[in-house]
Amino acid sequence: MLQVENFHTFYGESHILRGLSIDVRPGEIAGILGRNGMGKTTFLKSIVGLLRPREGRIRFEGQDITRFRTEARAKIGIAYVPQGREIFPQLSVHENLLLGLEAHPDRPGKYDESVFDLFPVLKDMLKRKGGVLSGGQQQQLAIARALVGRPKLLLLDEPTEGIQPSIIIDIENVLWQLKERGDVGILLVEQYLEFAWRLSDRYYVMEKGEFTAEGEAEGECDTALLARLTA
Ligand SMILES: Nc1ncnc2c1ncn2[C@@H]1O[C@H](COP(=O)(O)OP(=O)(O)OP(=O)(O)O)[C@@H](O)[C@H]1O
Ligand SMILES: [Mg+2]
Protein backbone atom coordinates (compact mmCIF):
# COMPACT_ATOMS: atom_id res chain seq x y z
CA MET A 1 0.00 0.00 0.00
CA LEU A 2 2.74 2.47 0.98
CA GLN A 3 6.07 2.19 -0.74
CA VAL A 4 8.87 4.51 0.16
CA GLU A 5 12.04 4.25 -1.87
CA ASN A 6 15.38 5.67 -0.89
CA PHE A 7 14.38 8.80 1.05
CA HIS A 8 17.17 11.29 1.72
CA THR A 9 16.02 14.21 3.85
CA PHE A 10 18.10 17.18 4.97
CA TYR A 11 17.71 20.03 7.44
CA GLY A 12 19.81 22.66 5.69
CA GLU A 13 23.08 20.86 5.05
CA SER A 14 22.53 18.21 7.75
CA HIS A 15 21.89 14.92 6.05
CA ILE A 16 19.33 13.22 8.35
CA LEU A 17 17.61 10.42 6.43
CA ARG A 18 20.11 8.32 4.53
CA GLY A 19 18.33 6.19 2.01
CA LEU A 20 15.23 4.87 3.81
CA SER A 21 12.89 2.44 2.09
CA ILE A 22 9.81 0.76 3.51
CA ASP A 23 6.83 -1.17 2.26
CA VAL A 24 3.65 -1.22 4.36
CA ARG A 25 0.92 -3.64 3.37
CA PRO A 26 -2.81 -3.01 3.88
CA GLY A 27 -4.04 -3.79 7.37
CA GLU A 28 -0.61 -4.51 8.80
CA ILE A 29 1.26 -2.71 11.55
CA ALA A 30 4.85 -1.78 10.81
CA GLY A 31 6.85 -0.67 13.84
CA ILE A 32 9.76 1.74 13.58
CA LEU A 33 11.97 1.53 16.62
CA GLY A 34 14.82 3.83 17.46
CA ARG A 35 16.38 5.96 20.17
CA ASN A 36 16.13 9.75 20.44
CA GLY A 37 17.24 11.81 17.50
CA MET A 38 17.60 8.93 15.03
CA GLY A 39 15.25 10.44 12.46
CA LYS A 40 11.90 8.77 13.19
CA THR A 41 9.86 11.97 13.20
CA THR A 42 11.77 13.30 10.20
CA PHE A 43 10.75 10.13 8.35
CA LEU A 44 7.04 10.50 9.16
CA LYS A 45 7.11 14.19 8.19
CA SER A 46 8.74 13.21 4.91
CA ILE A 47 5.97 10.67 4.27
CA VAL A 48 3.18 13.20 4.83
CA GLY A 49 4.95 15.89 2.83
CA LEU A 50 5.76 18.32 5.64
CA LEU A 51 9.39 17.83 4.70
CA ARG A 52 10.61 17.33 1.15
CA PRO A 53 13.22 14.62 0.70
CA ARG A 54 16.02 15.69 -1.61
CA GLU A 55 15.99 12.24 -3.14
CA GLY A 56 13.58 9.33 -3.20
CA ARG A 57 10.08 8.39 -4.30
CA ILE A 58 6.85 7.56 -2.55
CA ARG A 59 3.93 5.56 -3.85
CA PHE A 60 0.53 5.01 -2.25
CA GLU A 61 -1.80 2.34 -3.60
CA GLY A 62 0.32 2.20 -6.71
CA GLN A 63 0.15 5.95 -7.39
CA ASP A 64 3.30 8.06 -7.36
CA ILE A 65 2.60 10.79 -4.79
CA THR A 66 6.12 12.17 -4.56
CA ARG A 67 4.92 15.58 -5.74
CA PHE A 68 1.67 15.63 -3.78
CA ARG A 69 1.18 18.34 -1.18
CA THR A 70 0.40 17.41 2.42
CA GLU A 71 -3.35 18.09 2.05
CA ALA A 72 -3.54 15.88 -1.03
CA ARG A 73 -1.80 13.06 0.80
CA ALA A 74 -4.34 13.40 3.64
CA LYS A 75 -7.21 13.31 1.15
CA ILE A 76 -6.11 10.04 -0.40
CA GLY A 77 -6.05 8.41 3.01
CA ILE A 78 -2.79 9.06 4.84
CA ALA A 79 -3.45 10.29 8.39
CA TYR A 80 -0.76 11.56 10.72
CA VAL A 81 -0.83 11.81 14.51
CA PRO A 82 2.24 13.88 15.38
CA GLN A 83 4.51 13.39 18.35
CA GLY A 84 3.11 15.41 21.27
CA ARG A 85 -0.39 15.00 19.72
CA GLU A 86 -1.06 18.65 18.72
CA ILE A 87 -4.80 18.78 19.22
CA PHE A 88 -6.36 22.25 19.26
CA PRO A 89 -6.45 23.23 22.95
CA GLN A 90 -8.93 26.10 22.52
CA LEU A 91 -11.43 24.02 20.57
CA SER A 92 -13.83 21.56 22.16
CA VAL A 93 -13.40 17.82 21.79
CA HIS A 94 -16.36 17.86 19.37
CA GLU A 95 -14.77 20.62 17.26
CA ASN A 96 -11.46 18.80 17.21
CA LEU A 97 -13.24 15.71 15.89
CA LEU A 98 -15.06 17.75 13.23
CA LEU A 99 -11.70 18.95 11.95
CA GLY A 100 -10.81 15.34 11.27
CA LEU A 101 -13.52 15.29 8.59
CA GLU A 102 -11.46 17.54 6.34
CA ALA A 103 -9.56 14.49 5.20
CA HIS A 104 -12.70 12.38 4.70
CA PRO A 105 -13.22 11.46 1.04
CA ASP A 106 -16.94 12.40 1.11
CA ARG A 107 -16.66 15.42 3.41
CA PRO A 108 -19.76 14.56 5.48
CA GLY A 109 -21.07 17.14 7.95
CA LYS A 110 -20.96 14.71 10.85
CA TYR A 111 -18.46 12.20 12.04
CA ASP A 112 -19.35 8.58 12.57
CA GLU A 113 -20.15 8.11 16.25
CA SER A 114 -18.73 4.60 16.19
CA VAL A 115 -15.46 6.34 17.01
CA PHE A 116 -16.77 6.37 20.62
CA ASP A 117 -16.81 2.57 20.63
CA LEU A 118 -13.04 2.85 20.43
CA PHE A 119 -12.74 5.88 22.70
CA PRO A 120 -15.71 5.90 25.11
CA VAL A 121 -14.02 8.46 27.35
CA LEU A 122 -14.35 11.13 24.64
CA LYS A 123 -18.11 10.82 24.49
CA ASP A 124 -18.48 12.33 27.96
CA MET A 125 -16.12 15.17 27.16
CA LEU A 126 -17.46 16.50 23.88
CA LYS A 127 -17.98 20.04 25.16
CA ARG A 128 -14.72 20.34 27.03
CA LYS A 129 -11.82 22.23 25.58
CA GLY A 130 -9.09 19.97 24.27
CA GLY A 131 -6.56 21.78 26.42
CA VAL A 132 -8.14 20.66 29.70
CA LEU A 133 -7.87 16.96 28.85
CA SER A 134 -5.09 14.87 30.36
CA GLY A 135 -2.15 14.01 28.11
CA GLY A 136 -3.52 10.52 27.60
CA GLN A 137 -6.97 11.81 26.70
CA GLN A 138 -5.43 14.27 24.26
CA GLN A 139 -3.57 11.39 22.64
CA GLN A 140 -6.83 9.47 22.34
CA LEU A 141 -8.49 12.54 20.85
CA ALA A 142 -5.66 12.94 18.35
CA ILE A 143 -6.02 9.33 17.21
CA ALA A 144 -9.82 9.60 17.11
CA ARG A 145 -9.57 12.79 15.02
CA ALA A 146 -7.34 10.99 12.55
CA LEU A 147 -9.75 8.02 12.33
CA VAL A 148 -12.79 10.22 11.72
CA GLY A 149 -11.31 11.01 8.29
CA ARG A 150 -11.44 7.29 7.39
CA PRO A 151 -7.76 6.90 6.57
CA LYS A 152 -6.27 3.88 4.86
CA LEU A 153 -2.94 4.43 6.54
CA LEU A 154 -2.35 5.83 10.00
CA LEU A 155 1.03 7.22 11.02
CA LEU A 156 1.53 7.34 14.78
CA ASP A 157 4.53 9.12 16.26
CA GLU A 158 5.25 7.79 19.77
CA PRO A 159 1.65 7.50 20.96
CA THR A 160 2.74 6.22 24.40
CA GLU A 161 5.25 9.00 25.12
CA GLY A 162 4.49 10.62 28.47
CA ILE A 163 1.18 8.77 28.82
CA GLN A 164 0.04 7.09 32.04
CA PRO A 165 0.05 3.26 32.01
CA SER A 166 -3.72 2.77 32.19
CA ILE A 167 -4.24 4.87 29.07
CA ILE A 168 -1.38 3.13 27.28
CA ILE A 169 -3.38 -0.07 27.76
CA ASP A 170 -6.48 1.61 26.32
CA ILE A 171 -4.49 2.80 23.31
CA GLU A 172 -3.03 -0.63 22.78
CA ASN A 173 -6.55 -2.10 22.84
CA VAL A 174 -7.66 0.38 20.21
CA LEU A 175 -4.75 -0.55 17.97
CA TRP A 176 -5.61 -4.24 18.37
CA GLN A 177 -9.18 -3.54 17.35
CA LEU A 178 -8.04 -1.60 14.30
CA LYS A 179 -5.73 -4.42 13.38
CA GLU A 180 -8.53 -6.93 13.73
CA ARG A 181 -10.78 -4.90 11.45
CA GLY A 182 -7.97 -4.84 8.94
CA ASP A 183 -9.09 -1.75 7.04
CA VAL A 184 -6.26 0.53 8.08
CA GLY A 185 -2.52 0.02 7.85
CA ILE A 186 -0.46 1.52 10.66
CA LEU A 187 3.06 2.85 10.72
CA LEU A 188 3.92 3.00 14.39
CA VAL A 189 6.97 4.91 15.62
CA GLU A 190 7.85 3.95 19.19
CA GLN A 191 10.54 3.92 21.82
CA TYR A 192 8.40 1.70 24.06
CA LEU A 193 9.78 -1.45 22.56
CA GLU A 194 7.55 -4.13 24.09
CA PHE A 195 4.42 -2.20 23.14
CA ALA A 196 5.53 -1.87 19.51
CA TRP A 197 6.76 -5.45 19.37
CA ARG A 198 3.45 -6.90 20.54
CA LEU A 199 1.48 -4.97 17.96
CA SER A 200 3.77 -4.99 14.96
CA ASP A 201 3.86 -7.47 12.12
CA ARG A 202 7.19 -6.13 10.91
CA TYR A 203 9.79 -4.08 12.71
CA TYR A 204 12.44 -1.69 11.47
CA VAL A 205 15.29 -0.42 13.63
CA MET A 206 16.34 3.12 12.80
CA GLU A 207 19.82 4.32 13.67
CA LYS A 208 21.15 7.66 12.39
CA GLY A 209 18.70 7.88 9.55
CA GLU A 210 19.14 4.32 8.32
CA PHE A 211 17.34 1.05 8.91
CA THR A 212 19.98 -1.17 10.44
CA ALA A 213 17.74 -4.17 11.12
CA GLU A 214 14.31 -5.31 10.01
CA GLY A 215 12.21 -8.43 10.11
CA GLU A 216 9.06 -10.11 11.34
CA ALA A 217 8.12 -9.14 14.90
CA GLU A 218 7.40 -12.68 16.06
CA GLY A 219 7.80 -14.43 19.39
CA GLU A 220 9.81 -12.83 22.18
CA CYS A 221 11.50 -9.53 21.53
CA ASP A 222 15.15 -10.19 20.73
CA THR A 223 17.44 -9.30 23.67
CA ALA A 224 20.26 -8.18 21.39
CA LEU A 225 17.82 -5.83 19.74
CA LEU A 226 16.64 -4.59 23.11
CA ALA A 227 20.20 -3.81 24.16
CA ARG A 228 20.78 -1.90 20.96
CA LEU A 229 17.68 0.20 21.41
CA THR A 230 18.17 1.04 25.05
CA ALA A 231 21.95 1.59 25.03
N1 LIG B 1 13.97 21.42 12.52
C2 LIG B 1 15.18 20.85 12.62
N3 LIG B 1 16.28 21.50 12.21
C4 LIG B 1 17.51 20.91 12.28
N5 LIG B 1 17.73 19.69 12.77
C6 LIG B 1 16.66 19.00 13.20
C7 LIG B 1 15.34 19.54 13.15
N8 LIG B 1 14.48 18.61 13.65
C9 LIG B 1 15.24 17.55 14.00
N10 LIG B 1 16.54 17.78 13.72
C11 LIG B 1 17.64 16.82 13.93
O12 LIG B 1 17.42 15.70 13.08
C13 LIG B 1 17.74 14.49 13.75
C14 LIG B 1 16.54 13.58 13.75
O15 LIG B 1 15.50 14.16 14.52
P16 LIG B 1 14.08 13.49 14.69
O17 LIG B 1 13.22 14.45 15.42
O18 LIG B 1 13.61 13.01 13.38
O19 LIG B 1 14.45 12.24 15.61
P20 LIG B 1 13.49 11.22 16.38
O21 LIG B 1 14.03 9.86 16.07
O22 LIG B 1 12.08 11.50 16.06
O23 LIG B 1 13.79 11.54 17.92
P24 LIG B 1 12.82 11.51 19.21
O25 LIG B 1 12.72 10.08 19.60
O26 LIG B 1 13.54 12.31 20.22
O27 LIG B 1 11.50 12.10 18.83
C28 LIG B 1 18.23 14.89 15.14
O29 LIG B 1 19.62 14.92 15.13
C30 LIG B 1 17.66 16.28 15.34
O31 LIG B 1 18.49 17.04 16.17
MG1 LIG C 1 10.50 12.06 17.18
Extents of the domains making up the chain: 2-230
Cβ(209) to ligand 1 under 6 A? Answer: no
Please give the distance, rounded to the nearest whole angstrom, from the Cα atom of residue 205 to the centre of ligand 2: 14
- Note the pLDDT tens digit of each residue in 110-163: 999 999 999 999 999 999 999 999 999 999 999 999 999 999 999 999 999 999
The pTM assigned to this predicted structure is 0.95
- Ligand 1 site-directed mutation target among 11, 36, 47, most atoms within 8 Å of CB: 11
Is the domain 2-230 a CATH 3.40.50.300 member? Answer: yes
Q: Is any atom of ligand 1 closer than 6 Å to the C-beta of 42?
A: yes
| Closest by CA position to 45, among listed 76, 90, 10 | 10
Beta bridge partners of 80: 155
**Distance from the alpha carbon of residue 41 to the mean position of ligand 2, in angstroms:** 4
Instruction: Report the separation in Å between the CA atom of 85 and the middle of ligand 2, taken as the mean of its atom positions.
Output: 12
CA–CA distances in Å: residue 152 to residues 79, 103, 120, 216, 222: 8, 11, 22, 22, 30
Ligand 1 atom with least separation from CA of 43: 18
pLDDT tens, position by position, 167-179: 999 999 999 999 9
pLDDT for 211: 96
Q: Is the CB of 39 under 6 A from ligand 1?
A: yes
Walking along the chain (231 residues) 10 residues at a time, the average pLDDT comes out as 98 97 96 96 98 98 97 96 93 96 90 95 96 95 96 97 94 96 95 93 96 90 76 65
Q: Whose CA is nearest to atom 28 of ligand 1?
A: 37
